[in-house]
A = this chain, B = another copy of it.
Amino acid sequence: MKKQFSGALLTLLGDRSNSDSTIVSELQRHIRELISSGVIGDDERLPSTRSLARDLGISRDTVEAAYQQLDTEGYLVRKTGSGTFVAKQDRIVSSTPRIVQSPNTREAHQTIISLASRGEDILRAGGIVDQTDVHPFVAAMPDIETFPIEVWRQLTSRVIREHGHKLLMYGDAQGYEPLRIEIWKYLATRRGVRCDPDQVLVLTSSQQALSLIGTTLVDPGDIMAIENPGYHGAKLALLAAGSFLKPVSVDVEGIIVSDINDSRAPVRAVYVTPSHQYPTGVTLSIERRMELLDWAHQTGSLIIEDDYDSEFRYDSQPLASIQGLDDGEQVVYMGTFNKVLFPSLRLAYMVLPKRLVKSFITARTLLDGQAPLLTQAVLHSFILEGHFTAHIRRMRQLYHARRDLFMTAIRQHLNAYIDAETPPGGLSVACYLRDGFEEDRSVAIAKSVGIELPTLRRLYLGEPARNGWLLGFAALPPQVAESAMVKLSKAMADFYK
């Protein structure tokens, strides 16, 4: 542990020659990140201040100050005589429910503003860090350079001219009706979703959909099942709602449905990414889909179907949505335009069981009211005039080609270190480290040559079953990805020679 820890920090701190106070806060930040991302786990013992100071070539006081602060923040626990340990992060399903503090147990006169326990949990879990620039391997990122921005500009101008001041007033909290109708048509024809436009809710992001589910359907202490490994944004949103997470393993057919039930209490809902599981890329088989629906009907539980990126399937027709396999009353379906068009758009949607529509709209009015009307109206025109379908078709071809070249390059340059299967769809590929190679180490090696490797570890709850990376192939031209691979391959070879 000690060596590994110092190694990771050394790489992170890099060749800085900063003032001591900067180093303290840098050090804190890195240790926090190592804890939040699960690189160092609950109860793990940290190196002594003396040895870490020596390893990093910084003063012992600096390390002491950083540990002290992290102790105050609750990340670390210092035990006199036995050392410094990572505090329990409390992120995995446990047999005792979280305790909700009653007002009386909170100290009556704290003199500075403190976070609520919920706020502390959220801060500790760490939020979602969206990449603000595109660099090689960023996972689940579309190509934005090919977006027809000039079409968007002209449509915006025209929509403002045509609608005038009507666009400025509050719109329907459920979403601009003409847009809902286009979403409905698209989902019915392309994804086999069974609904009517009144079941569609326009949101700003999948994250908002998850947040709404948390607000509306999750009581503190409820058990929510999630794919393991799985999408971290879903985990964080459901944890923030106060639920316990029940991790359920994924095999070649997708989530193992028979493992969903929990012996302690009913599982309220399960979050799945059936089109291509995030991050493994597997498609949930039709047998599993039926099994999942049966489970949901028998237990009265909900299926949360996140159909992200289902537009991008390269080798065969995608399976229709789970939502459309029966009456859809057991499924909350969600999708987003932010990956298909561009990330800063901020428009997404849900399809809700009829009986949940009213409550979701109501809760949404409390979250942020509604989505911007102008953007919704522009998107509506973009879809109506065929630009949406054309863009998807173009992107599918582009990403298909990029995927193939990316896989060839992986086999050529990284085959010694990783094992990766060609994903049937999506924007990323799961790469598993071969025996003898470690995730943390590989991340540090990549970092030393300026490459950020998105890890699989952060997508697991508990001990990762497999180590590796989730590499994005869609956002950048293949030659950019390939030259990063060459660099990474060389750095790995240098280290392991």
A-to-B contact residues, CB < 8 Å: 97, 100-104, 106, 108-120, 122-123, 126-134, 144-145, 147, 149, 152-153, 156-157, 160-161, 164-165, 167-173, 203-205, 207-208, 210-211, 215-223, 233, 236-237, 240, 264-266, 297-302, 329-330, 342-346, 353, 355-356, 358-359, 361-375
Whole-angstrom distance from the CB of A207 to the nearest CB of chain B?
Answer: 5
- Note all chain B residues with C-beta closer than 8 A to A131: 170
Which residue in chain B gives the minimum CB-CB distance to A367?
B211
User: Which of B112, B218, B346 is within 8 Å of A370, CB to CB?
Assistant: B346
A368 CB → nearest B CB, Å: 4
Q: Which residue of B lies closest to A219 (CB)?
A: B116
B101 & A342 in contact (Cβ 8 Å cutoff): no
A/B interface sample: 14 pairs, CB < 8 A: A116-B216, A118-B215, A122-B215, A122-B359, A122-B363, A123-B358, A128-B366, A132-B171, A152-B160, A169-B343, A204-B368, A215-B240, A344-B374, A346-B372
CB-based contact B342/A207 at 8 Å: no
Which chain B residue lies CB-closest to A203?
Answer: B368
> Given A115-B217, A217-B113, A221-B103, do A369 and B130 touch, yes or no (CB 8 Å)?
yes
Known: A145-B165, A366-B236, A369-B207. A219 touches B101 (CB 8 A): yes
Pairwise interchain contact B369-A103, C-beta atoms closer than 8 A: no
Cα distance A233–B173 in the bound complex, in angstroms = 14
Chain B positions within 8 Å of A117 at CB level: 219
- Chain B residues with CB under 8 Å of A127's CB are 173, 361-366
Contact of A149 among B110, B168, B359 (CB under 8 A): B168
Kindly name the residue among A144, A145, A355, A364 whose own CB sees the greatest number of chain B CB atoms within 10 A.
Answer: A144
Contact status B170-A132, CB under 8 Å:
yes
Q: Are A371 and B359 in contact (CB under 8 A)?
A: no
A97 partner, pick from B103, B130, B172, B300, beta carbons under 8 A: B103
Instruction: Name the B residues within 8 Å of A236 (CB-CB).
Output: 366
Bound CA span A311–B234, Å: 39
In contact, A344 and B168 (Cβ under 8 angstroms): yes
The smallest beta-carbon distance between A221 and chain B, in angstroms, is: 5
Contact of A365 among B103, B128, B223 (CB under 8 A): B128
**A112, A133, A157, A344 — which one has the most chain B CB atoms within 10 A of its CB?**
A344
**CB proximity of A217 to chain B, nearest CB, Å:** 5
Chain B residues contacting A115 (CB-CB under 8 Å) are 216-217, 356, 359
CA distance A145 to B329 in the complex (A): 43
Quick one: closest B residue to A475, CB to CB?
Answer: B169
A473–B30 CA distance with the chains assembled, in angstroms: 54
* Shortest CB distance A269–B (Å): 8
Q: How far is the CB of A329 from chain B (nearest CB, A)?
A: 7
Q: Which residues of B contact A222 (CB under 8 A)?
A: 103, 106, 116
Decide yes or no: A100 and B100 within 8 Å by CB, A168-B342, A344-B169 being known contacts: yes
**Chain B residues whose C-beta falls within 8 Å of the C-beta of A370 in the assembled complex:** 130, 344, 346
Given A110-B300, A147-B165, A368-B346, do A363 and B119 touch, yes or no (CB 8 Å)?
A: yes
What residues of B have a CB within 8 angstroms of the CB of A106 in the complex? 219, 222, 265-266
**Whole-angstrom distance between the alpha carbons of A110 and B358 in the complex?**
20
Known: A122-B215, A129-B365, A344-B168. A264 touches B207 (CB 8 A): no
A108 to B262, CA, bound (A): 11
CB distance from A240 to the nearest CB of B (A): 5
- Tell me how far the C-beta of A294 lies from the nearest C-beta in chain B, rounded to whole angstroms: 13
Besides A112-B300, A132-B171, 16 more A-B contacts (Cβ < 8 Å) are A97-B102, A103-B264, A103-B266, A104-B265, A110-B300, A113-B329, A113-B330, A116-B219, A122-B366, A123-B358, A130-B173, A130-B365, A133-B169, A144-B168, A152-B160, A344-B370
User: What's the nearest-Cβ distance from chain B to residue A16, in Å?
Assistant: 21
Minimum C-beta distance from A87 to chain B (A): 17
- A362 contacts across to B, CB distance below 8 A: 122-123, 126-127
CB < 8 Å neighbour of A215 from B119, B160, B173 = B119
A216→B118 contact, CB < 8 A? yes
Asked if B342 and A169 make an inter-chain contact with CB atoms under 8 angstroms apart, the answer reads yes
For A152, give the chain B residue with the smallest CB separation. Answer: B160
A160 contacts which of B112, B149, B203, B300 (Cβ < 8 Å)? B149
A371: which of B104, B300, B346 is its contact (CB, 8 Å)?
Answer: B346
* Bound Cα distance from A266 to B104, whole angstroms: 8
Contacts of A152 in B (CB 8 A): 160
Q: Are B367 and A109 in contact (CB under 8 A)?
A: no
Among residues of B, the one whose C-beta sits closest to the C-beta of A96 is B102
